[in-house]
A = this chain, B = another copy of it.
Amino acid sequence: MDGWHLVAAVIYAAGGGYKSLERDIFANLSPLDHRYYASNPELFDDLARYLSENAFVHYQLLVETALVRALAKRGLCSASIAEEVARACAEVSPEEVYAEEELTHHNVRALVNCIQRRVSPGARPFVHLTATSVDILDTANALRLRRVNDEVILPGAAALLRVLIDLARRERETVQIGRTHGQHAVPITFGFAVAQYVSRLGTRIELMRTAARGLKGKMAGAVGAYNASSLFFADPEAFEAEVLAELGLEPAPISTQIVPPEYVLDYLHALVSAFGVLANLADDMRHLQRTEIAEVGEAFTATQVGSSTMPHKRNPWNFEHVKSLWKEFTPRILTHYMDQISEHQRDLSNSASGRFIPEIVAGLAAAVERLNKVMSRLVVDHEHMQANLAMTAETVIAEPLYILLAYLGEPKAHETVRLLTLEAEERGLTLRRLLVEQPERFPFLNDMTDEQREILAHPERYTGRAATKTAQICGYWENKLAEMGL
């Protein structure tokens, strides 16, 4: 309890007013509040507008304002009272609320006291009337999550999607060896590889958008049965909908003291599964940047240091950072699966854990921004891509050869090609050369079409629909983004 006294003392120190409690950011414990803030203050200031404690108090005040306005529309109080309360809400500061909480040990009661203290006695009864604390808290949370999603997360993700679309289009004809199991498989184009992420990220953007719009508020009272509001209204559910409509939200179909946890959980699933897509992209880029592969690289600034002892190193640290953030934030969704359990009409054991949701949102935002920067200046090394392709070009024709042989009636085509591959390897020949040398062994070769023979001769043309598919996916998502207004 002493802690609160100390804080209050500091806050009160301004004498009369309330001053904010300033602290050196490097005294903070969360890297979000020191290192990541310091490295990207614009983004984190943006996020703080929704996710900080200041913001949370602000959003609670928005809900209190919506409530009193809805009361006025119903005629319980006058419009001028509603506006008096609204003005008071606009003035209350988080510092004041925290100082008050020292006395009440209850955050929403403190908030209400701070509002009431600023309005005339006649207005006081209408502050918070019919509401329970969680009506305010859960609604404020839904609102700020929806807004941070609409105003920070989706624009950021859409910007990244556009970077990926541009990259995929630019590289849609760039032949690259496809890799499965880390082994060369058959060719694709680099644009096609990127188009995978266009499609996967696009799909996650849609899901985050849908899930955020599905977030619900409530104004159903202490156990969700509208006990209190029923004292005043015959149709308290309609009144609930009116309050929430002031904020652009809809009520949950039914609530206990809390909104059913699944709406926030679905949103977190959308976030965390989007994070997984980013992590896979980062991992791919990281591996393509390996010294031996060297197909892509991050553009470095002139003064940047790769390693403190190895001055020649150029590390994919941005991609590694994204992967690492993913590892940090993904397991945290478990907390919220656990928070689906709240005993009876609620226990409070989801309260502290719910307060960490902003960290997950901020983590994703940071990863998106980081990828955006590094992908938008990605250097594609076409020469190395070509050289890597050439390493196995001769053997990758094994696949079309097998398929065509099988189609043309070679009874054990798969086995035949496998043995030919080994034979070619042993004799130091290319597979194609082997075919040409002994045409009598492969009578069916004559039955191939010209295009088919072309592919056996030019493995780099064996890219199927990579380029057209890339174009199609990019077009689809460009339109979709426009449609979503992003």
Contact = CB atoms under 8 A, between A and B. Distances in A.
A174 interface: no
B33 A320 contact: no
Given A353-B327, A414-B308, A236 B40 contact: no
Given A20-B24, A188-B225, A225-B188, A290 B464 contact: no
A199 interface: yes
Interface stretch (A138-146, A158-166, A401-409): A401-409
Contacts of A84: none
Interface stretch (A121-129, A241-249, A435-443): A121-129
A183 B349 contact: no
B403 A254 contact: no
Contact of A293 (B104, B292, B362): B292
A221 B464 contact: yes
B38 A26 contact: no
Contacts of A395: 312
A184 interface: yes
Contacts of A27: 48, 52-54
A444 B54 CA distance: 37
B106 A341 contact: no
Contact of A192 (B131, B225, B283, B321): B225
Which interface class (under 10, 10 to 19, 20 to 34, 35 or more) fits A? Answer: 35 or more
Contacts of A286: 181-182, 347
A187 interface: yes
Contacts of A478: none
Contact of A222 (B48, B178, B333, B345): B178
B324 A254 contact: no
A400 interface: yes
B29 A291 contact: no
A31 B105 contact: no
A44 to B, nearest CB: 7
Contacts of A283: 341, 343
Interface in A383-398: 388, 391-392, 395-396, 398
Give the 10 A-B CB pairs with smallest separation, nearest first. A276-B340, A30-B30, A178-B223, A331-B334, A324-B352, A181-B315, A106-B305, A227-B464, A320-B348, A225-B464
22 contacts: A7-B41, A26-B95, A27-B53, A34-B53, A109-B308, A132-B307, A133-B309, A182-B286, A182-B344, A182-B347, A183-B316, A185-B310, A187-B223, A188-B224, A199-B254, A226-B469, A227-B464, A286-B347, A312-B395, A312-B398, A312-B399, A321-B348
